[in-house]
């Protein structure tokens, strides 16, 4: 059975991609077959494969099962901004149903005839980022029916952001499988005190704390995380 988790953050640039890639690295170290997916990305660069997103490329790179880029990131928007605005600028329409279809198709794929054991699906921005005038990233996660891993970007204001996001996820009826603290501000004051407060106030399994890393590779981040609380 494939263990699939939706990764969301307390904000844009909270560290979702680094944490997702690190979790995939840990799972691969346990000899699990892994997939990393980013159904929707805003912000692209031109490559030999065409327009690609840097975060999606990293997920594709660290996964043990090889998927085409279009399966990893089926919808990419050129501008790095709120997806519904970027889509409007390009004359495109986003649809949760379409994103769900793409994602389920990738999850059912069998690269080389091998079934994935561990998969992370990285969201776009935070939990309530609009995708259309009536739908948000939360709707995508709810439709996919998989538990959430919450990445808390450690910076000033993170306590409020973390508690509000966790409350919203829970109210939406989605299980939080675990949370990760990711230091995104190298000069954050009272990091340990904030971390202790989050450990006290968040009742979900804590997968670890990724400090500020000068060399922020998935391997380096993985040294600070554990997937054991996910009960694989």
Q: Can 38 be counted among the known catalytic residues? A: yes
**Strands 148-154 and 50-52, bridge-based pairing:** unpaired
SS3 call for 135: coil
DSSP string computed for 51-118: EE-HHHHHHHHH-SS---HHHH-SEEESSSS-HHHHHHHTT----HHHHHHHHHHHHT--GGG---SE
The residue from 38, 92, 142, 199 that is catalytic is 38
Helix axes of 54-62 and 16-29: crossing angle, nearest 10 degrees: 10
Closest CA to 72 of 150, 17, 114: 17
**Strands 148-154 and 176-183, bridge-based pairing:** parallel
Q: How far apart are CA 83 and CA 12, in angstroms?
A: 12
* Cβ contacts of 101 within 8 Å, gap of 6 or more: none
Instruction: Please give the C-alpha separations between residue 177 and each of 4, 133, 159, 216, in angstroms, as whole numbers.
Output: 10, 29, 19, 24
Closest CA to 120 of 167, 202, 55: 55
77: β partners: 42
CA angle 10, 15, 21 (to 5 degrees): 130
Any idea which residues carry the catalytic annotation?
Answer: 38
């Amino acid at each position: 059975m494939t263990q699939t988790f939706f990764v969301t953050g307390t904000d844009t640039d909270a560290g979702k991609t680094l944490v997702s890639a690190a979790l995939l690295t840990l799972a691969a170290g346990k000899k699990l077959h892994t997939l990393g997916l980013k159904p929707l990305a805003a912000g692209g660069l031109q490559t030999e494969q065409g327009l690609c997103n840097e975060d999606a490329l990293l997920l594709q790179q660290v996964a043990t099962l090889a998927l085409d880029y279009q399966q990893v990131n089926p919808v990419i928007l050129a501008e790095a901004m709120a997806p519904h605005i970027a889509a409007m600028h390009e004359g495109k329409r986003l649809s949760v149903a379409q994103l769900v279809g793409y994602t389920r198709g990738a999850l059912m794929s069998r690269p080389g005839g091998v079934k994935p054991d561990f998969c992370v699906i990285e969201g776009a921005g935070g939990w309530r980022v609009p995708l259309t005038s009536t739908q948000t990233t939360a709707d995508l996660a709810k439709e996919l029916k998989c538990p959430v891993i919450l990445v808390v970007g450690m910076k000033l204001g993170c306590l409020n952001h973390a508690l509000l996001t966790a409350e919203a996820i829970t109210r939406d009826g989605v299980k939080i499988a675990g949370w990760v603290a990711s230091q995104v501000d190298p000069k954050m004051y009272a990091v340990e005190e904030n971390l202790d407060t989050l450990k006290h106030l968040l009742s979900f399994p804590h997968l670890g704390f990724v400090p500020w890393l000068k060399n922020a590779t998935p391997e380096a981040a993985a040294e600070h995380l554990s997937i054991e609380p996910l009960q694989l």
